[in-house]
Each structure stands twice: as C-alpha cells, then as structure tokens.
Chains A and B, each alone.
Chain A
Amino acid sequence: MIIEELIEYAQKLHLREKTGKHEVKVCSAAGCLSLKSEAVADELRKKIAELGIEEEVSVKPVGCLGLCSKGPLVTIDSGNRVYQNVKPEDANLIIEKAKTDPQSETDKFFTRQQKIVLENSGQVDPEKIHDYILRDGYKALHDVLEMTPQEVIDEVTISGLRGRGGAGYPTGLKWNTVAKTGNIKKYVICNADEGDPGAFMDRSLLEGDPHRVLEGMAIAAYAVGADEGYVYCRAEYPLAIKRLKNAVKQAERAGVLGKNIFGTTFSFTVDLRIGAGAFVCGEETALIASIEGKRGQPRPRPPYPAEVGLWGSPTLINNVETYGNIAPILRNGGEWYAAIGTEKSKGTKVFALAGKIVNTGLIEIPMGISLREVIYDIGGGIPDGKKFKAVQTGGPSGGCIPEQFLDKPVDYESLSELGSIMGSGGMIIMDETSCMVDVAKYFLDFTKDESCGKCVPCRVGTVQLYNILDRITKGTGTMEDLDELDDLCDLVKNTSLCGLGQAAPNPVLSTIQYFRDEYIAHIVDKKCPAGVCKFHTHAETGKSEVII
C-alpha cells in the first residue's frame, strides 16, 4: 500500500460520515465528560437536526482542549475561539456562531502556547482513524519505511529530543543502544503508567490522539528492529484504555500496524497491559516485571532494559509524550525540532497545570519560557486574590520552587539546579494557604506507601522521614530533628536502589532549603504560618498537643 491509498481509505470513511461545512468540536476528554459535555453534544445534535442544517454544521467529539477548569469546552473548526462553561442551553448560540464567521482566539492561555505533541488534540475525533490520517497521520511512518533504520535514529538524535518520562535521557542515544544489540528479538514499550499525582499529560494525549502514540511506537520499532510492542497503561485511566484498544484495532484494519506494514517486510503488533495501582511500576525495570506478571519491583541497572529487558530481550522503553513527538520530528526533520527550545532542552513540553491557579488544565509550551509566564500569562495567576507561595514540579520526585526563582526558564537544567526536576510535567501551584512542611509530609506519606520494600534505605528511610515530619507538623519536633532530616535525606538519596528512593527526599530538601522559616515556626513557635497544622497547648504542662 502507498500513502495515497491510505488517504483514499480515510476519505472514504470520512465521506461515509456526513459532516457539515463547519464542525462544532465538543471536548470529550475525561475532565469535560465529568462536567457533562456529552449533554452539550447531544443538545447540539438535536438542535441541528431540528433546524435541518446538517450539511452546514455538524458535531464532533474531540480530545482535551486544555482549559479543564472552564469546561465543558466547545470550539468551532480549527484554531478558533474556545467557548467555556458551555451548557446545553447555549446550543443555539454556538450554532449561530458556527454559521457566521467564527472569531479567532485572543485569550493568552491559548495564544502563548505552541502545540506539537498536542496539535491534533482537540481537533481530531480520537475514535476515528481517518480523522488522524487526514491530518498527515501515519505519513511519517510511511516515509520512514523508505529510510534505513540508522537514518531514522539519526534524525531523532539531531532533533535533540529527550525522554519526557522524567529523567530526560536523550532519545536518539537510547534508540541507538537498542538498535546496536543486533538482529535478535526486541520489544518496544510505551510507558503510560503516569504515576505522578497531579499529572495528566499522558492521559490527555492517549484520550485525545491515541494514533499519534501508536505511530511513534511503530517508527521506533522500525528504527530499533523490534516487531512487538506493549503499552503499559494505568488502570485508573479507563477511557484512555478504551480509546487505545479501539485505535489498535483500527490501525490493524488500515494496515498501519500488524503484518507487512505498507506492504514492506516490516511488521509490528501492539498489545496493551493494564497496571494495577503501584507507583513504582512507572520505573522501567519494575514496569517490565509487571508486564511479566510479577510483583512490580525494580532491579539494579545495569544491565539497562535497552540490553536486557522484557523476557531478557533488548527493550526500548519510552514515555507516551516522547512517542508523541516522533511523527512530527520525522515529518519536519530533526533540525526543525532542534530550532525550538533552549540549547540543551529542545522542543516543547506538555504540562498539567493544577492547584491554586486560575486556569487549570493542559498546556504545551516551548522549552525555555519562564515559570512566571507559565503561571501568570498562561495560567492566569492565583485565584481569590491570594499570594503565590511555590510551584511544585516533578511530583514526589521533585521539589517546590519559591517566588524568587519565577523568572528562571523551564528546562531540564534550570529546574534541577533549583532542587526540583522537570519530571513528567505535573505543575502544581500553591498559595499562602499551603503549609510547606505539610506538603513535604504529604509527599513522604506517598513515597513511604509506594516504596516497594525491596531495599532498606527506601523502605525504612521514607518511614523515618515521614515520622519526623509528622512530629514537626504536630508541634513536637525539635531543632535536632531538622539536622536528622538532612542526614537521613542524604542517606536515602545516595543508597536507594531505584529512582523512587533516590528522589524521595527531594520534596523535603527543597522545602527545607527555601522554607526553613516555616519549619522553625513549627518547631520553635509551635505555629503553622499557613494555618494548616493545628496545635494546641496543654493547659498544665505547656506542651503542645494536636487536636484531632
């Protein structure tokens, strides 16, 4: 099959589905769905039928439009205004707007972004492959099959793309390692475990544009010489799982997955594995153990999965968003991608904005713009006239960045220098009502629960850290506890087996570094400046006690 045939196939499917001149796109991602966006779509369809204007206007369910806090969201055709908080009663108005000249978007939330990974999200119907194909879908895969695997890898290397799962390892380098293992059985895995609480980038991409991820995986498989792939998706994302399953089936039917893709000798099949609620399974060796049906416990590296992975075979494992970047890189060239972003952090990054911020939702920005631009221009600042306190990046492995660093650029190096990490893309904004000791305790509660228990520093160390933080938040901590925290953090960081333990102290270290006065207020003054931790003083002994 050649690309023209594929496009013809898509057009046929497209024609079968009567669409109007204008498309009203209704967000059908998880956020808007739970705000009843389906009722809006139903009402729109009903009204269009009543007016008999099906040829003029039609309704299309699409993936995440980004501004989750203002859902249900509706947009008309491409790149036009996004209507917010839409109710079924607004159907007539929307139809009217669709028929007349649709206005263009002016809201900074949308205009300051640059979309590569999410370019189709909110545009295509995620349940229909033809919609994807008609937006240049699977074209990169087609073209890649005329290149040598090495040429494909070189293009990815030139792009400067780094892994979006957290660690930022150069993707081209990883592909090269797997490719070099020779002509043996290999696997490609997509890490869709997205365990960081407060992060929903991967979810949105899988729900909004699943074919983009599959295409990226297929290109990777061709480049490294694999013929079998797995997507490991967390069970908490039922809609993503459903859409992925559907996408795999459609891709097989269209001949872009399965045997002899595009009539070449290249074959690649994709299967799904569902996680079962263990954070550590996002770690690559634990994830592999989990696909093998075992307890998800990590093992020491090296050997890296690139050499010894799934069932002992070389395995390429990348994050959902990493794969999401592949097709555009191959379509437009590595140089094009490398021109976006900063010297060492190329391209764009998707972030999930959440917490105390006006515009919560999903954004994609070029690397290197400042945290301030993200939080104030795109995010719209802090609601209810409150004061900004910190932005948390990198989830339980990251740290809290205070006000004085808001002009730092968002890239891998700058965020690590600040004691946090880029992480997978969760960005949680905290205002003056959050207590930083409590936040540190929150994360340690998480890591102690999620520690798999295999190595002692992580299993025992995180509990010790938690206990000390717990004492401090209850007003019974001492200044020695602060030193003890420092020592323990050092120990856990340097002696744990995997990234979970190694990064677990980060929330504690960064809050001690930037918010030491809050710790001291708890310890010495028995006060929580944010008013989160409640103490009360025992009338007779003068000792503080917690109110339960």
Chain B
Amino acid sequence: MLIKKIILPSDDNRWKLINATMKRHGYQPNSLIETLHTVQETFGYLDEISLKFVALTLKVPLSSVYGVATFYNFFNLKPQGKHTCVVCLGTACYIKGTNVIAEEIKKEFKLSMGKTTESGNLSLLSARCLGACGIAPAIVIDGEVHGNVSVEKTLEVLRRHENDN
C-alpha cells in the first residue's frame, strides 16, 4: 500500500483537523463535502489555500472542488463578519414578514444579502427555512435562533453588534 505524505499548508494546527477528517475517510475523493464542512467549521470559510490543499490531498481536480464549493449554498468563499444575522426567508417566515425585516436591515446598515458591513462587524445572510416555522418569524443571530421577532427588536440587537468594538 502506498503511504501518503501529507504536506500541510502551514504549521497552523488547525490544518491537522482538516487532515483528520480526510484521514478518517481514507482520503477518498467522496469525502470532499465532509472535508469542506470541516474546513468551514474550522476557518469559518473556504479560501483558495484550503481549496487547493483539499484538492491535492483528495486527488480531486481543483475545478471540481471549486464546483462543489460554489454549488452548495452552505459554503462561504469569503470570511464572515464578527457577528452574523441569518434572516429566514422560508415560506412560513416570509408570510409573517421576514422580507420586511430583511429590507429594514439592508436599509439601516447599507447592506445587501451575503455582504458584511464596512466595519467587518456584521454580516447579513438568508436561509430558506430553519425548521423553526412554529415560531416564525425566525432569525439566527450568532448561531442562536430567535423566534417571534419584530423589526424593532432585531434592529436594536444588530445595532449593538454593529457598534461592538
């Protein structure tokens, strides 16, 4: 059996986590999505270095890795702000007005979907249903789901986050 020498992109220990995922799957090309999940969990997003590293290690063409990374909405190719706000635009939330909440956030913070404020403090994202439709309208701020939200309450919390130094 061929023994593989894996060269990590730097001595940042976090690369070991990425390698561990690939190793657990026997460096099979089909572990690509699992590996990208680990990269995103570890670094917060997928940058060029990590995509290249994963491509090389799993022996998947870089174009395919890029293809997969861009196909799935869950993967970010850019870093996120210090705080993130995910507005659910699923049907139940839409019917209860999350599109209005999203518009107000965009207006107040001069943002568009998927973008981060200049300060780097706040990113605005959207999701298509969090499975929390029973408490719609729902948003996620920094990973925590909030149900039955209002425009005012949301803006108030986000203002605090945006001015967080």
Residues of A at under 8 Å CB distance from B? Answer: 30-31, 33-35, 68-69, 71, 194-200, 203-204, 235-237, 273-279, 290-296, 352-356, 360-362, 392, 395, 426, 428, 430, 434, 439, 442-443, 446, 450, 452
Contact = CB atoms under 8 A, between A and B. Distances in A.
Most chain B CB within a 10 A radius of its CB, from A68, A194, A290, A293 = A293
Given A196-B129, A198-B133, A236-B129, A293 B92 contact: no
B33 A276 contact: yes
B97 to A, nearest CB: 9
B91 A235 contact: no
Contacts of A426: 91-92, 133
Contacts of B132: 30-31, 34, 68, 200
17 contacts: A31-B134, A34-B144, A197-B89, A198-B91, A273-B33, A274-B33, A275-B72, A276-B36, A276-B72, A276-B73, A293-B31, A293-B32, A296-B72, A354-B134, A355-B91, A428-B92, A443-B91
Given A197-B90, A293-B33, A356 B133 contact: no
A194 B72 contact: no
A198 B90 contact: yes
Contacts of A292: 30
Interface string B20-42: 00000000111111101100000
Contacts of B89: 197
Given A293-B32, A354-B91, 5 more contacts: A34-B145, A196-B129, A293-B31, A439-B95, A442-B91
Interface string B101-126: 00000000000000000000000000
Identify the 8 closest CB pairs spanning chains A and B, nearest first: A68-B134, A197-B90, A276-B72, A277-B74, A354-B92, A277-B73, A197-B129, A293-B30
Contacts of B147: 31, 34-35
Contact of B95 (A291, A430, A446): A430
B73 A197 contact: no
A443 B154 CA distance: 25
Interface of B: 28-34, 36-37, 60, 64, 67-68, 71-75, 89-92, 94-96, 127-136, 138, 144-147
A409 to B, nearest CB: 23
B92 A69 contact: no
A508 to B, nearest CB: 15
Given A235-B37, A442-B91, A31 B72 contact: no
A279 B147 CA distance: 23
A199 B91 CA distance: 9
A428 B31 contact: no
Contacts of A294: 32, 64, 68
B134 A360 contact: yes
Contact of A236 (B29, B68, B127, B146): B127
B95 A434 contact: yes
B84 to A, nearest CB: 14
B74 A360 contact: no
Contacts of A33: 145
Nearest to A445: B89
B128 A200 contact: no
A274 B72 CA distance: 12
A292 B75 CA distance: 17
Given A31-B147, A197-B129, A428-B91, A69 B72 contact: no
Contacts of A352: 133-134
Most chain A CB within a 10 A radius of its CB, from B72, B133, B146 = B133
Contacts of A194: 131
Given A34-B146, A196-B129, A199-B133, A356 B71 contact: no
B153 to A, nearest CB: 14
A446 B128 contact: yes
Contact of A442 (B29, B64, B94): B94
A475 B71 CA distance: 34
B126 to A, nearest CB: 10
B73 A278 contact: yes
B105 to A, nearest CB: 16
B135 A277 contact: no
A197 B71 CA distance: 19
B128 A295 contact: no
Given A197-B92, A274-B34, A428-B91, A293 B68 contact: yes
A199 B129 contact: yes
A197 B32 contact: no
Contacts of B74: 235, 275-277
B72 A200 contact: no
A487 to B, nearest CB: 26
Nearest to B133: A354
Given A395-B91, A426-B91, A442-B91, A293 B29 contact: yes
A30 B131 contact: yes
Given A277-B73, A446-B128, A200 B133 contact: yes
